[in-house]
């Protein structure tokens, strides 16, 4: 049985568009991190994006029985290009049509110099498939957009529909690879 337990990294408290900007995670709520760790399979392998907020979260979840896999850059958040670390209001003032298209017609729409939803989805799906080939249960510490792409895939829905799904920091979304493809076991579970 192959199950990927997608964990969103700890909060950054940023109020801007954060994709590849390498902000640290706030992991000061040790009780919450302990509950999350206890909820996850004790002997599962563990992998994270290479961004520090995901790495630090994975480090906090590492246990004696959890084998750590090398960081996986393909699990990164969407790249917001020129919009990185800028507020929605700033971007809307400069590029109202572009940011409206990005949210209303995701897929090929992208930030100036950034990545489109379709590219993010293809990148993360390829990484998920590589991990699934290992078999068993794997804890994947990643980002909001990356996790949404996999829920979209499992549910067989379009990006605008999946945007309504909340993925809170330190939540778990578990997906099982069955005979008919990816199936959702839970989404945004907060232990």
Residues 127, 168: Cα–Cα separation, whole Å: 22
pLDDT in tens, 2-32: 999 999 999 999 999 999 999 999 999 999 9
Classify 80 as helix, strand or coil: coil
Residue 20 exposure: Cα atoms within 13 Å on the Cβ side: 13
CA-to-CA separations, 86 to 18, 152, 191, in angstroms, rounded:
8, 26, 31
Indicate whether 89 pLDDT > 80.
yes
Distances (CA, A) of 121 to 47, 126, 179: 18, 8, 21
- The 8-class DSSP code of residue 70 comes to P
Output the pTM of the full model. Answer: 0.96
- pLDDT of the residue at 63: 79
Cα separation, 92 vs 100, whole angstroms: 8
pLDDT at 176: 97
Domains and CATH numbers, the chain: 2-189 (3.40.50.1240)
Torsion (CA) 26, 61, 57, 68 in degrees, nearest 10: 160
DSSP assignment of 39-65 equals HS-TT-EEEE-SSHHHHHHHHHH--TT
Q: What is the pLDDT of residue 130?
A: 98
Structure confidence at residue 33 (pLDDT): 97
144 has a pLDDT exceeding 90: yes
Q: State residue 98's pLDDT score.
A: 93
Give the bridge partners for 63, in sequence order.
Answer: none
Mean pLDDT over the full length of the chain: 96
Name the strand (E) or helix (H) holding 184. Answer: strand 181-189
pLDDT at 115 over 90: yes
């Amino acid at each position: 049985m192959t199950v990927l337990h997608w964990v969103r990294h700890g909060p950054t408290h940023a109020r801007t568009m954060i994709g590849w900007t390498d902000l640290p995670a706030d992991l000061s709520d040790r009780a919450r991190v302990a509950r999350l760790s206890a909820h996850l399979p004790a002997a599962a392998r563990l992998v994270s994006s290479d961004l520090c907020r995901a790495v630090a979260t994975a480090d906090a979840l590492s246990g004696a029985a959890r084998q750590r896999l090398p960081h996986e850059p393909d699990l990164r958040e969407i790249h917001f290009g020129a919009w990185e670390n800028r507020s929605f209001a700033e971007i809307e003032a400069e590029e109202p049509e572009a940011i409206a298209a990005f949210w209303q017609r995701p897929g090929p729409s992208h930030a100036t110099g950034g990545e489109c939803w379709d590219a993010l989805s293809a990148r993360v799906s390829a990484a998920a498939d590589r991990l699934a080939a290992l078999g068993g249960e794997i804890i994947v510490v990643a980002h909001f957009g990356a996790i949404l792409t996999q829920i979209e895939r499992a549910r067989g829905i379009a990006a605008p529909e999946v945007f309504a799904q909340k993925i809170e920091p330190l939540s778990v979304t578990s997906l099982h690879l069955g005979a008919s493809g990816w199936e959702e076991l839970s989404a945004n579970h907060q232990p």
